[in-house]
Amino acid sequence: MTELKVGDAAPEFKLPKAVDSNLSLKELTASGNLILAFYPGDFTSVCTNELCTFSDGLREFNELGAKVVGISGDSYFAHDAFRKANGIKFDLLSDYDHSVAKLYGVSYEEKFGLRGIAKRSVFIIDRTGKIRYRWVTENPGILPNFDEIKKELAKLK
């Protein structure tokens, strides 16, 4: 898979957020821009920090015309417990087979003894499905630059 770049069409996907409840990229971008945050796993310190920061700033991201969605390989059962334990106010989607992380070019071959988990990465996708921002790190201990994400969203208003 070639690396996705700013300006590329974001690959379509449909992932579960709960039992019998799926969300697709098309549905997520229908009403505006989307912040797609891939992360390695629920209940880990850096991932908790990242998703709580997105959740705490959700109003500002919404005011900038974007919704936030998290994606990891954890099950929707784990996501539900993680959301409740941390007061996360947006959807977390289960990429249980890591196919979407692979599609977006953000899966590790092997990390922490696990295969295919998502690299910490952030994409801003506009309502037409085009990638407008891309950030990927090989180091799962690094958080995204939230101010940079806000600046990129402000350019889309």
* Catalytic residue, candidates 37, 47, 68, 101: 47
CA 82 to chain centre: 15
* Distance separating alpha carbons of residues 100 and 105, to the nearest angstrom: 8
Catalytic residue list contains 47: yes
23 vs 13, 44, 61, 113, CA distance in Å?
A: 8, 24, 20, 29
**Helix, strand, coil share of the chain (percent; to 5):** 30, 25, 40
Cα separation values, 12 from 23, 24, 27, 57, Å: 11, 7, 10, 26
Count CB-CB contacts under 10 A for residue 69.
Answer: 21
Active site residues: 47
